[in-house]
Each structure stands twice: as structure tokens, then as C-alpha cells.
Amino acid sequence: MSSSMKSSSYILAVLERGQIAEVVRDVQSLPQVEEGALLIGRYDLLLRVWHYDRPSLYKVVSDLRNMPGIKSTSTHIPFEGFTKEYTVDENDALAISLLRAQGPLENVLIQLKDLQYVVEGHIIPGDWDLIAILHSKRVEQILETAVRQFEDVHGITKTETLLASQYFRRTPEETVSVGTFVPQYAFERLRDGTVLGTQPPA
């Protein structure tokens, strides 16, 4: 039975080198794509897509996988989560963290919500247990959250953080695209304190 309620899911994609600009252009043309970010790490692209049911989600995923330049995708359907009010502007810092955890995932989610710069958190059972989106005007605050504060969240056993280099969102009038701030020292800091996103999970 189909549901009339609109839901959102997350899709991570690996892209062919040299075709990123074309893929972003084609992805932005899909009406189901609400927003997305180019990532630096083993995944190249994160998308949030809307759908009414599993068949409509499958259609979006199929359209993406058939696009030239997309090598592979990984779909994550949130079971529970939170989204704070936030807007990504030019030169903001943005990252996603994939999290593994032990114990009740709801308890981890509650702790994530208390962290100032975690603007979204969702339970996505599968290869990873949760996804968190980090946003701030300063990259140092993103690093502090990913490297230090996640260590204090009871239940988290592994993290993988990917910094965003570009972000776009669909509005009723247009698609807004902004560049995000990724200094070189951010990679060095993450490499010392968390998995940067270049290694497969153990």
C-alpha cells in the first residue's frame, strides 16, 4: 500500500573522475533531489532525495545509477532522527559523519542532538548505524566535534568524517549552490583523530 506522506532518504555516490561537474548538473535536474554536497573522501557525493514510498525511492536510485559518471551508490533510509534549523552559506564549514555504535541507538541520537554543531542526526541501520551532518561558520568547530566531542558520546565505536567542498539546495525559485571551506590542516587534524573517509570500514 502506497503512502501519501513525503519522506527523505540519503544517497552516497562514488563518481567517475573528470565527470563531477556533469554529474552535479544532471543530479540537480532531478526534481526529487532536495539538496546535496560534494564530499572529499571515499564517497564523492551526498544527496537528500524525497519520495513517497519504496517504489518511488527505487525509481530515483535507478535514475541516479543510470547516469553517466556515477560508479556506485549507497542508499540510507532514516528510521528516526532530528533536523535543526540551519542554512549553509558561502564559505561555511560542512561535513558528514558516518557512525557505528553499540547499545540503544536512540540514546546515541539524544547525545548527538545535544552537540551544538551537529545539525542533523539519523538512525540508518546497515553498514553504518547513524549519519550526522555537521555545520558551522568555522571549520575548527566542525573538527572539534568530529575529533573530540564524538569521543564523549557513549555508544559510538567508530566514526568516518567526510568534509564537503560544495553544497547545493533546491528552493521554490532556483537551485542555490555555494562553496564550503576546506583548509588543508583540516585533513591533518581529522587524520590524527578519526577516519577521514579514505579507508573501507573494518
Tens-level pLDDT at each residue, the chain (202 residues): 345 688 899 999 999 988 988 999 999 989 999 999 999 888 999 999 998 888 899 999 999 999 999 999 999 999 999 999 999 998 999 999 999 999 999 999 999 999 999 999 999 988 899 999 999 999 899 999 998 899 999 999 999 999 998 999 887 776 777 877 666 656 565 554 444 333 333 4
- Where does 7-76 sit in CATH, by number? 3.30.70.920
Q: Where are the alpha helices (DSSP H) in 36-183?
A: 54-65, 105-113, 139-143
* Residue 5 dihedral angles phi and psi, to the nearest 5°: -85, 135
Q: Which is nearest to 33 in space by CA: 20, 50, 21, 45?
A: 50
- Where does 80-164+175-193 sit in CATH, by number? 3.30.70.920
Domain with CATH 3.30.70.920 in the chain: 7-76, 80-164+175-193
User: Which cell goes with 153?
Assistant: 558520546
Residue 26, SS3 per DSSP? helix
Amino acid at 61: V
Report the alpha-carbon distance of residue 33 to residue 9 in Å, rounded: 10
Report the alpha-carbon distance of residue 194 to residue 188 in Å, rounded: 10
Residue 82, SS3 per DSSP? strand
Q: Residues with Cβ < 8 Å from 120, sequence gap 6 or more?
A: 81, 82, 83, 84, 131, 132, 133
User: Which cell goes with 188?
Assistant: 591533518
